[in-house]
Structure 1
């Protein structure tokens, strides 16, 4: 039976290739620093590819295509705000000079605010990462279930999860980077094929599609500025999206050789993320043109209907590549925060290395992966799982951790007490909004906890007694030189364009 199941054979071949590539490079991680950030000599293109592979998970495709179909211009505008996050990180990267020797965002926060904020940041980052992995596992199961009906999807899902756990455990960041390149290459080849298939399925020309969408109220540009609850939700969701500095993405910052490379990497990531977002949006638009009266649950079955086995296998491989490349980076980030930040904070010793640190990191990958699988058992529905992960994992991280990191990068050096006050305020505001405000108005104000955190920290810093060495610091000489180099490069590039 399996021999005649072409999609299943294609998926198994892809998983085998991924495992072989991951294990081939796994022997090169002999120290914990190599396991965590490699040799910090990654090519700029390699870092751009692994970041794109990390941020565009399978959930982005499975979840956003139906939402574009259902919500129209509001969801499209929301998706195109995501690249702003990477542009902001590129600017923050120019100021990352004092922190480039660190291994995680939690260590950066600990170096500025002390041990306890570091522990809280690490715990929230671990929960964030496990939640992201759970979403990707859910997408794996859904994709395999839709496309390979003759086999229990849980079998292939468990196999794929175990494969990404294995190469993430033994290979560290280098194995993850190489497999991300493979998975992203597969994704970029197959995604245009999916777009072509859905376009052909509409049986309309490009001009006819444009004219049809212009007549639909929810896709009209003027609808975007019509003030209602949808617009309010869009604004606050956009503000929240900008502050999602995921631990797995920021981990790539510490892999760079220096602030200049961080700037170039995330600037290019911004450009390519716009292109990929446009591809995902186009699938939702074409599906609407082909069948404008479907329910949300009928959209993907419509896309997959009458599709050839080879196309089916390609789509499953595309989704698997997206999910695995996001999940392995999240597992790696969780492993670093457990074996490095948690252990170092508990031991309170930096000069004496922990001899079992590398072994603990590998064990953490295994445990975190298994915990993510357990979460998917309790939340089998993708939309419910995404809502749970965002409400209790991601929103806490955004509100409590992101403002501390941004303030530290911009030169604020606060005390432990100041940081803890800000974190506590963010969590309290988040809980109040989630339990009392959001059920009544139907709009999530996830941006407010981050603002409350920053305001509480500033109030605590200026109203409470502070040590003499705390406060704002200016740019150091290295940051000033980098800014001058960037300005000189832009001026030189402009002069060439004028010629």
Structure 2
């Protein structure tokens, strides 16, 4: 009775938490869009959790356990297709920009093929959705009956009512946030269940025996042309095809942007694969422990034989979490389809669409509950649900995603062919489903009717290709960069970059080598030392030599500290000590736990010291080579038996994998910090050079001013006094000509001094000195975007480049223009709270300069403009004319936030360009225009004075 109370308490608490969170999330629902897809403010982690628990239904638990138990690898191969499907959806995200504004899959189909296709898609989706909800309610009924050993109809009804209530009231926000709770609940249930069954195995080695002897787990036996393997491939293909069902499409519409879709679905696919493998592993443990169980009653066997009070309740809510998360997602999708895509096209209008959606959601739940109370199967019900949707909707939708558009007539013909084939296929071939034949019939009907009836459209491409073009461009850049790195790769340079920055790191590593190696020696029994005396002696002497060298590295003579020596000595020492010696000690000890853990610690140390690429190669080569040498030395054909134990393969393997993942993320973060540090060091070095040049210019200026200008004006003053003295007694008529000549000479001297003073003072005005270069525009833009991750911009902006100019080269200061782009991105991203995609549009323009000495005349100069905007489709119109900036010499920002914009103003003025900023709603657009040929615009005195100063410096 106490156990029942504990389990019931756990169930009631779980249902109560879900109900409270669901009702609490319902307060912000004000429109049908809020009810359907929210406000696109979900985090990637939240969206990933929602995708996983919506995709991995409770049927995964029953079907994966049962079919893995009976079919082994046949079903594991098939079920991996369902997990890979999510990754494929993430890869297709770059083609789905146009669908992010739709709230349902039927609305997307209606936007392409009209109201008829929209209504048919909605009806097909509702029937499929209700079938899946009924299946989940059936699982709820079954699992509660097993947990509490009761056949009462009211317990599953109460659980279903809880799902219906928060789905009705809260909409997609309630569904999503309860999905997160259910995700963690199920994530806790799976490891606990696996651990409980593992602990009750009498001999863990029987699992290895099973995997080595059972034909269903032998790849050589499974893979072949027998009907069972072909059926598994057919099922995998069925799972692999992205059905784009209403819930999956809804999750796509909930995302902020394409990048979030790609990340969330990719993560969800990986997590789903881990869940499936965990469930398959549980089935394998059950098979190893008892091969005579009934496959469809494995869950009952687990509950009755492996659980106790409390644990039974945890397992129950784990399965209920999957069932409820799938049911609430599909109920919400059904309500949206009924309200938005069936009622609206039929002319039925609602004063309050949210209230109508809630009513439809409640009716859908009640209808699905009635079906669940009458239906007993699971996989057959899933096949029936997919047969109502995939052969009807999936084909035209996927074709539209890939860029094929046709007429409504062709689509309707394909839908009719797919549905008819699916429904009639079981009568042609008994005991088979017609999903794949129906999909093929829809495809043939769509393409055949399009080309035979000569319908408009065809392979016209997607409507918003910018993300796809950006993805292709990124792949092209990555491939070109890979080829460049491969051609320019130098092993010596790579190893030199891997050297420690500080000498004391080698000393610390030497201390670790002594501690780890001699701790291993201390735990090796004396009989093993005697059996492997020679190898034991070699290891001891060599490690002592290497560790001593590392400890005394700061005292090494310069000839050994030379780069060429330490470049090779350092990685070879790490390779030998950590992986070769570590492997020998593990093999000598017969895979003793202590030795194995030290070896894993060596691997961790390797990842901390060297790049992960190099360490991975070292581990593979080191373990393989050391094992081969040990076999030859010990004269044993095979390794010790403990090498094949489950303990080593699973426990140590998981530990090593987790260490690798953690260190990989660490090295990624470290690499980013190093990149930032290098960029800051380069910037600081440039500023130091500029400061030194400024000081040299000032010193030269003061010296020149003292010698040439001051003395010249002194001489002018003295000569003026002499002339004045001689002028008094002189007749004006007799010496006027000579005086005029003297005055002209004096004025010429003063003019020369003034010109020299102007040239000398010019570099010290508050203007920006440019190092003008002729650069390739495409290479400049690629370099600027590749170095963006080195700039501290939070959050990192997502940028797409549209290069629409015909100019290939520019005369600019590349460093300053790159700084201008970075400052602009930083300014835009600070106000880009929704993290919208930023478009960098580069196109032709014209700059207009006034000619003050020629009345009513403006000079037009060829220019190029950089437009950075958060608008989804920036204007790509014709070339615009812009007035050049008026000269401003003082840049004193009032606040630190204005420094980037003021700095951009200086850069644009120095380039004799134009700048503007526009704000529309929450979108920001900044435009910068600079001349193509800068040297033709600015005075030649600037370049000449720079040459003179460079020669002097």
Secondary structure of the structure 1 residue equivalent to 2:51? helix
Asked if structure 2 preserves the Cα contact closer than 8 Å seen for 1:236 and 1:446, the reply is no
The alignment's TM-score, normalised by the length of structure 2, stands at 0.49
For residue 54 of structure 1, what is the aligned residue in structure 2?
A: 54
Q: Does 1:213 align with 2:211?
A: yes
- 1:43-442 mapped onto 2 (5 Å cutoff): 43-149=43-149, 151-205=150-204, 207-243=205-241, 244-306=243-305, 307-347=307-347, 354-379=350-375, 381-383=376-378, 386-391=379-384, 393-437=385-429, 439=430, 442=431
* Residue number among 450, 466, 482 corresponding to 1:478 in the alignment: 466
- CA drift at 1:415: 0.9
CA distance in 2, matches of 1:167, 1:493: 51
CA distance in 2, matches of 1:412, 1:24: 44
CA distance in 2, matches of 1:490, 1:153: 61
Asked if structure 1 preserves the Cα contact closer than 8 Å seen for 2:55 and 2:326, the reply is yes
- CA drift at 1:491: 6.8
1:326 to 1:492, Cα distance in 2 relative to 1, 3 A? farther
- CA drift at 1:399: 0.7
Q: Does 1:461 align with 2:439?
A: no
Asked if structure 1 preserves the Cα contact closer than 8 Å seen for 2:175 and 2:325, the reply is yes
1:183-220 CA-to-partner distances (Å, cap 9, x unmatched) read: 10111012100111121222222x43122222111222
Q: Does 1:24 align with 2:24?
A: yes
Asked if structure 2 preserves the Cα contact closer than 8 Å seen for 1:81 and 1:242, the reply is yes
- CA drift at 1:403: 0.6
- CA drift at 1:477: 4.7
- CA drift at 1:246: 2.6
RMSD: 2.2
The alignment's TM-score, normalised by the length of structure 1, stands at 0.92
Unaligned residue ranges in structure 2 (runs of 5+): 486-610, 614-670, 672-953
1:422 to 1:477, Cα distance in 2 relative to 1, 3 A? closer
CA distance in 2, matches of 1:154, 1:285: 33
CA distance in 2, matches of 1:315, 1:282: 17
- CA drift at 1:484: 4.6
- CA drift at 1:16: 0.7
1:477 to 1:6, Cα distance in 2 relative to 1, 3 A? closer
CA distance in 2, matches of 1:288, 1:208: 10
CA distance in 2, matches of 1:485, 1:260: 15
Asked if structure 2 preserves the Cα contact closer than 8 Å seen for 1:213 and 1:219, the reply is yes
1:139-176 CA-to-partner distances (Å, cap 9, x unmatched) read: 11111111111x44422211111111111111111111
Asked if structure 2 preserves the Cα contact closer than 8 Å seen for 1:434 and 1:444, the reply is yes
1:342 to 1:493, Cα distance in 2 relative to 1, 3 A? farther
Select the structure that is richer in helix. Answer: 1
Select the structure that is richer in strand. Answer: 2
Asked if structure 2 preserves the Cα contact closer than 8 Å seen for 1:139 and 1:382, the reply is no
- CA drift at 1:489: 8.9
- CA drift at 1:445: 4.7
Higher alpha-carbon deviation: 219-228 or 397-406: 219-228
CA distance in 2, matches of 1:489, 1:5: 62
CA distance in 1, matches of 2:398, 2:43: 26
Higher alpha-carbon deviation: 475-484 or 364-373: 475-484
1:209 to 1:171, Cα distance in 2 relative to 1, 3 A? same
Asked if structure 1 preserves the Cα contact closer than 8 Å seen for 2:62 and 2:296, the reply is no
- CA drift at 1:432: 2.1
For residue 886 of structure 2, what is the aligned residue in structure 1?
A: none
CA distance in 1, matches of 2:57, 2:70: 20
